[in-house]
């Protein structure tokens, strides 16, 4: 595939820690962010057409923060007082925590799953199956969550609180882009895109359709691997850690990290337990307790270090232990900058060029 020079992405621009900024800097690609639709709360008139009485329900199911805002806004417009006994079941913990914007967060009335419909149903358990549930949806009454609830014997009703509204992209010249990246089915089905694409097809009927429609893939591609941090990438075994500390090479970066690395093949020669079929590097993070007595601060630093590592993973098959040196909590930007230097030196070590010295 020829290199793309100008790309249109149907999302709002990311303002903080944008993953697109380094891509544009590295490749020279120009990226424009133009959303094809926006989520908009239903008016009270539109909601009344569904013939839903909010006061009748004793439990609400939420799947997004947008729907939470729309629900409480609707309750205010309809002058319905949400009782303190109302129970809330959310798709994820982040969605559940967002409820603090509108109500007092109490664990005995707020429950959450891990992102799947089955996990929401599991959070209900036998204790709450007698509740009368209202599933607050966005864009459609038929969702994975509503279909999962329909298979149960619980008293469930779905109501839409948010609708997708097409943006006006008639002034956007789609022919100026080498590729168009769409992230949601609503992008494809939006009136703005469908009418504009149909018009382009009519005018360009004598040549190939000029758009590349890239949808979210079910699996990561080899050339674009998923940036996760799996269990296999964590260094946990005591024997492996001891071997790394005894035979590894050490170097420091900017007075922020002290790093110990050991090539996986050498580790395997010394200990059969370390043989791995996965080529991924393995990481262990150490934040000293003598500098940070409270676990919450140590865990904060570990999360920042882990995230900086996840976004800049090395290509080498090595075991790595990172020691955090400062006696203060540094900002993420400083940690990531130092981590990029760490990764560069790890990759150089893996290629046996410019190896760090002990």
CA distances from 240 to 90, 230, 247, 345 (A): 40, 18, 10, 21
Averaged pLDDT of the chain: 81
pLDDT of residue 133: 94
pLDDT digits (tens, 9 = 90+) for 167-188: 877 788 777 888 888 776 666 6
CA angle 164, 75, 162 (to 5 degrees): 5
276 in the same domain as 326 = yes
Instruction: State the pTM of this model.
Output: 0.51
pLDDT digits (tens, 9 = 90+) for 32-66: 888 888 888 999 999 999 999 999 999 999 999 99
Provide the pLDDT confidence category of residue 277 given band limits of 50, 70 and 90.
very low
60 in the same domain as 99 = yes
Round to whole Å and give the CA distance between 130 and 303: 40
Round to whole Å and give the CA distance between 32 and 179: 11
52: in domain: yes
111: in domain: yes
Q: Which two tokens stand for residue 287?
A: 């934040």
pLDDT digits (tens, 9 = 90+) for 299-333: 999 999 999 998 888 888 889 999 999 999 999 99
1: in domain: no
* CATH number of the CATH domain containing 331: 3.30.230.10
* CATH number of the CATH domain containing 119: 3.40.50.10090
Number of domains in the chain: 3
207 in the same domain as 100 = no
pLDDT of residue 353: 43
pLDDT of residue 354: 43
Share of the chain above pLDDT 90, in %: 45
130: pLDDT strictly greater than 70:
yes
45: in domain: yes
220: in domain: no
pLDDT of residue 209: 39
pLDDT of residue 274: 46
Neighbours of 62 (CB within 10 A): 27
pLDDT of residue 268: 53
Taking residues 206-225, what's their average pLDDT?
Answer: 46
pLDDT digits (tens, 9 = 90+) for 153-172: 899 999 999 988 878 777 88
271: in domain: yes
94: pLDDT strictly greater than 50:
yes
328: in domain: yes
Residue 278, domain extent: 231-350
273: pLDDT strictly greater than 70:
no
Q: Which two tokens stand for residue 107?
A: 């664990």
pLDDT of residue 258: 94
Which of 164, 186, 203 terminates a domain? The answer is 164
Round to whole Å and give the CA distance between 247 and 230: 25
226: in domain: no
183 in the same domain as 153 = no
314 in the same domain as 250 = yes
254 in the same domain as 319 = yes
Round to whole Å and give the CA distance between 251 and 265: 20
């Amino acid at each position: 595939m020829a290199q793309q020079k100008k790309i249109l992405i149907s999302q709002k621009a990311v303002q903080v820690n944008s993953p697109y900024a380094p891509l544009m800097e590295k490749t020279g690609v120009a990226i424009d962010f133009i959303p094809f639709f926006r989520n908009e709360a239903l008016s009270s008139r539109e909601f009344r057409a569904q013939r839903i009485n909010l006061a009748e329900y004793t439990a609400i199911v939420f799947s997004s923060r947008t729907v939470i805002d729309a629900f409480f806004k609707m309750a205010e417009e309809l002058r319905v007082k949400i009782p303190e006994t109302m129970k809330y079941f959310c798709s994820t913990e982040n969605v559940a925590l967002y409820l603090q914007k509108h109500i007092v967060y109490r664990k005995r009335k707020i429950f959450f799953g891990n992102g799947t419909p089955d996990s929401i149903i599991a959070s209900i358990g036998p204790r709450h199956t007698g509740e009368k549930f209202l599933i607050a949806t966005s864009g459609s009454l038929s969702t994975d969550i509503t279909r999962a609830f329909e298979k149960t014997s619980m008293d469930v009703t779905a109501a839409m609180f948010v609708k997708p509204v097409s943006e006006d992209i008639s002034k956007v010249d789609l022919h100026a882009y080498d590729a168009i990246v769409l992230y949601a089915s609503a992008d494809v089905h939006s009136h703005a895109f469908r009418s504009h694409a149909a018009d382009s097809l009519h005018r360009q009927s004598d040549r190939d359709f000029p758009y590349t429609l890239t949808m979210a893939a079910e699996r990561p591609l080899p050339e674009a691997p998923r940036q996760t941090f799996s269990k296999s990438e964590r260094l946990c075994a005591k024997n492996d850690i001891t071997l790394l500390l005894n035979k590894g090479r050490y170097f420091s970066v900017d007075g922020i990290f002290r790093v110990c690395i050991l090539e996986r093949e050498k580790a395997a020669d010394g200990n059969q337990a370390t043989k791995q079929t996965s080529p991924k590097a393995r990481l262990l993070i150490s934040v000293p307790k003598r500098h940070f007595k409270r676990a919450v601060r140590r865990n904060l630093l570990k999360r920042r270090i882990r995230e900086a590592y996840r976004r800049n993973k090395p290509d080498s098959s090595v075991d790595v232990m990172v020691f955090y040196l400062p006696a203060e909590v540094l900002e993420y930007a400083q940690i990531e900058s130092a981590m990029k230097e760490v990764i560069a030196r790890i990759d150089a070590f893996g290629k046996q060029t410019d190896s760090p010295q002990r």
